[in-house]
Structure 1
Amino acid sequence: MTTRSYTGYRSFSYLEPGVDYREFEAAPDVDRLPPFDLGLTAEQEARASRLLTENIVVSLHDHPVRLPADPEKELSAWNREARLAYGYDGLSRSGMDAVIDNLGWGACESRSGWKWDDVITDLGMRYCDFAHQDYVIRAESVGDIRRAHAEGRLAVIAGLEGAALIENEIDRLDVLHGLGVRQIGIAYSDSNSLGGGLREQRDGGLTALGRRAVRRMNQLGMAIDLSHAGDRTALDVLDVSDSPVLITHAGARGLWATPRMKPDEVIRGCADKGGMIGIEAAPHTTVSPAHPRHTIDSVMDHFEYCVDLVGIEYVGFGPDTFFGDHMGLHRAMSEKLGLKEAVGSGPAHEQVDHVAGMENPGECLPNATRWLVKHGYSDAEIAAVIGGNALRVLGNIWEGTSRGGAA
């Protein structure tokens, strides 16, 4: 599957590598691993292809950059460059019409989150690359997503996993919105001035500043993400927000008991608020008792658990994948940031070097669609979870009525 409008552009090809910037050997975005075979019939494959073509397909959370070929050796230098190669070719084969790209990996140098100047640099470098090609659309609205689908292009929405970079400056949310950022997480695992992260033993909940930030994000029409927030903070956000709230990339703690997964109370609260959960596929997250070797089947166990819990209209996908060695990145980040928890913590399970069937942004949504076809889901159900639900919820957040006033 190749999107018709992609013409072969490669990141920063308007510059001379080794002269204008430091060049890294990047992981391939196509055919790094053999294709995953779900065992579909020719008729089922044709149906999956039709569904991916006819419907708007949205990832709520991915990192569509090409990692360095050896992230364990090159992570620090790669981060400092903030000139990351985009996986244009792989994305053109993904079936996706839109992706929330969680920026900042080129600037991540601290455990507490990304610094303001570094993130602005990373955002500007990404947008500069976009300005020299004609496949990706810088998207800031549902209308942009619909246009990308109609034109066979890809709508990229800028997001950030944590809000630590605003420090105590609420107006920085306005600046980020003005620069095109349309989704921000309250906390990236560690606590910040807004609220508690999921790593904390005691989550103190949303702070007074955090309440002001939630109100400002509602006024701006900026999506709030709870994926890395602590449970108490997540529930406080759901109580305070006037707009729907997202869990862009997580799974169900009722199925796999780790802090990275969300408890039923938070998932239900998100659905009750009119939001949704995007099911995660990063290595050793959405493992399940039925499939302790993390594969697409483990991921889809979390999908079905959440569908049973809140209804299919509140579930979608936020795979949280890269092009390249994701496990190598995890190991390098754990060492760099001095994290005590081991990669793959939680209940005992088999370790993997990649999640078979959901290894990168190019294959996650197509293979999820194939899995749903194989397991008897209807066309309407598949259309909803691969993009329809996200389109509805993002429209309600970005174009809702809770605007005006001063924080």
Structure 2
Amino acid sequence: MTIERRAMLAGAAGLAATSLLPAAASAAPDGRKWVIVNALGGLADPNIQGVADPFSPRVLGEAHASGVTAINCTLGYVAGPAEPFEKSVTDVAEMDMLLRRYPRELLKILSIADIRRAKAEKKVGIIYGFQNGAMMGKDAARVDIFANMGVRIFQLTYNPANQLGDGSMAPGNRGLTPFGRDVIERLNAQRMIVDLSHSGEKTCLEAARASKAPISINHTGCRAVTDLPRNKTDAELRLVAERGGFIGIYFMPFLNISGHARAEDVLRHIDHAVNICGEDHVGIGTDGTVGQIDDLQAYEAVLAKEIAERRAAGISAAGERPDTYPFVVDLRGPDQFRKLIGLLAARGYSSRRIEKIMGLNFLRHAESVWGG
């Protein structure tokens, strides 16, 4: 539905916290009964491009096999020639139509109760989220329209600047605009989650202070571990956590300065986020799907074309190149969540801490914003 990168295709409390963990876990916990929330992801078949209905039997089967309970899926305008408001309204309406087509498989998420219902009924919950506030135009009251349509997560900016504030790739780091403050006030009134994933540092810090409700950084890495603009500074991570928010670690090339991220990089960034934010504020937002890629070599050509299109549109980020993957090569496909659970257990994380990271922390955060 969107044309941005992932949908075009298919976090002195410091180091001591980890050092106190046991050296190893005897066995990985069984996460099948857990609520697993991907704070930014999608459902699509990476082997097939441009289909009108992304929810094929294979896509739905792999989603169920992954064990994911709910996914924040990007809808609406991100970049390109489409009129942002019209594009966003159309996307939400089209997703509503698709969910009505698959009522036994998928569930629109409006509340915490809906996420728990999705788990109980063995459905995959779809949380409607935006990744660019451009569709606001000059009218903050448009927030009410999208809230009534069921959008539950609102990211203020993508990588460039917009009328709400500067993104992570905007050169000025000018922060939140007065209109951005108006939009945040409206989002708070509508009990929508304010997401600062792609924002510049000053925009993030100012938004976290301006919001009356805790904010989220749904998909990011830690800049202290890998110094790239799409990763968040310790100041951002710490402030968001201190104000009750949520940080989701992605499975993206920005986790390693080489651009070739692996599972060990995901673990290093989770370690750092837990050390900075505490274990109650860190989760996952992979920024990818759970679909298995049949031919990775053939897929590389699709990725190279995608990067070229993103660069031409002015929406790419430092660290993404034609030879990088928008996923972690050894932590992908339907087994990615089970693999991560096992790796965290082997690292000495307790079952309870892992369960928080895999979903409970997002539930806590969402409940603090959405209500019960």
Fold in common (TM above 0.5): yes
| 1:367 pairs with 2:339 | yes
What residue identity is the alignment partner of 2:273? Answer: C
Query: Conserved in 2, the CA contact under 8 Å of 1:285 and 1:344?
Result: no
Which residue is equivalent to 2:200?
230
SS of 1:93's equivalent in the other structure is: helix
Which residue is equivalent to 1:399?
371
Instruction: Quote the sequence identity (%).
Output: 24
More deviation in 373-382 or 326-335? Answer: 326-335
Deviation per CA, 1:126-147, whole angstroms, max 9, x where unpaired?
2212112211111100000111
Q: How do residues 74-93 of structure 1 correspond to structure 2 at under 5 angstroms?
A: 78=50, 83-85=53-55, 87-93=59-65
Which residue is equivalent to 1:316?
283
CA distance in 1: counterparts of 2:335 and 2:344, whole angstroms: 14
Deviation per CA, 1:13-46, whole angstroms, max 9, x where unpaired?
xxxxxxxxxxxxx999xxxxxxxxxxxxxx83xx
What residue identity is the alignment partner of 2:160? Answer: D
SS of 2:218's equivalent in the other structure is: strand
Give the Å deviation of 1:108: 5.5
SS of 1:131's equivalent in the other structure is: helix
1:193 to 140, 157, 163: 163
Give the Å deviation of 1:356: 2.3
| 1:157 pairs with 2:127 | yes
User: Looking at both structures, which has the greater relative contact order when contacts are Cα pairs under 8 Å and sequence separation is at least 6?
Assistant: 2
Deviation per CA, 1:354-407, whole angstroms, max 9, x where unpaired?
5223224x333222112112222111111111111110000001118xxxxxxx
Which residue is equivalent to 1:389?
361
Deviation per CA, 1:136-186, whole angstroms, max 9, x where unpaired?
111100000111112222211110111111111212111111111000111
Which residue is equivalent to 1:18?
none
Alpha-carbon distance change, 198 to 148 in structure 1, aligned in 2, over 3 angstroms? same
Query: Conserved in 2, the CA contact under 8 Å of 1:173 and 1:216?
Result: yes
| 1:277 pairs with 2:247 | yes
| 1:122 pairs with 2:91 | yes
CA distance in 1: counterparts of 2:260 and 2:153, whole angstroms: 32
SS of 2:182's equivalent in the other structure is: helix
What residue identity is the alignment partner of 1:167? Answer: G
What residue identity is the alignment partner of 2:342? Answer: R
1:94 to 66, 69, 91: 66
Alpha-carbon distance change, 354 to 248 in structure 1, aligned in 2, over 3 angstroms? closer
CA distance in 2: counterparts of 1:198 and 1:388, whole angstroms: 28
Alpha-carbon distance change, 354 to 260 in structure 1, aligned in 2, over 3 angstroms? closer
Give the Å deviation of 1:188: 0.6
Deviation per CA, 1:252-291, whole angstroms, max 9, x where unpaired?
0001111010111001011011002100113x121268xx
- Could you tell me which runs of 5 or more consecutive residues in structure 1 were left unpaired when the two chains were aligned: 1-25, 29-42, 72-77, 401-407
Deviation per CA, 1:276-312, whole angstroms, max 9, x where unpaired?
2100113x121268xx741111111111111111211
CA distance in 2: counterparts of 1:142 and 1:84, whole angstroms: 25
Which residue is equivalent to 1:300?
267
Q: How do residues 129-168 of structure 1 correspond to structure 2 at under 5 angstroms?
A: 129-133=98-102, 134-168=104-138
Deviation per CA, 1:68-88, whole angstroms, max 9, x where unpaired?
53x5xxxxxx3xx76444621
CA distance in 1: counterparts of 2:145 and 2:231, whole angstroms: 31
Alpha-carbon distance change, 90 to 245 in structure 1, aligned in 2, over 3 angstroms? same
Query: Conserved in 2, the CA contact under 8 Å of 1:275 and 1:393?
Result: yes
Give the Å deviation of 1:336: 2.2
Which residue is equivalent to 2:19?
none
SS of 2:194's equivalent in the other structure is: strand
| 1:376 pairs with 2:348 | yes
What residue identity is the alignment partner of 1:356? Answer: V
CA distance in 1: counterparts of 2:194 and 2:46, whole angstroms: 27
More deviation in 59-68 or 193-202? Answer: 59-68
Alpha-carbon distance change, 340 to 182 in structure 1, aligned in 2, over 3 angstroms? closer
Alpha-carbon distance change, 97 to 353 in structure 1, aligned in 2, over 3 angstroms? closer
Give the Å deviation of 1:343: 7.6
| 1:248 pairs with 2:215 | no
State the superposition RMSD in angstroms: 2.9
What residue identity is the alignment partner of 2:335? Answer: E
CA distance in 2: counterparts of 1:55 and 1:99, whole angstroms: 14
CA distance in 2: counterparts of 1:169 and 1:391, whole angstroms: 30
| Larger CA Rg, structure 1 vs 2 | 1
SS of 2:232's equivalent in the other structure is: coil
CA distance in 2: counterparts of 1:186 and 1:85, whole angstroms: 28
Deviation per CA, 1:295-352, whole angstroms, max 9, x where unpaired?
111111111111111211111000000335786555333322444999884499x955
Alpha-carbon distance change, 327 to 188 in structure 1, aligned in 2, over 3 angstroms? farther
CA distance in 2: counterparts of 1:353 and 1:251, whole angstroms: 14
CA distance in 1: counterparts of 2:316 and 2:208, whole angstroms: 30
What residue identity is the alignment partner of 1:297? Answer: E
When normalised by structure 2's length, the TM-score is 0.83
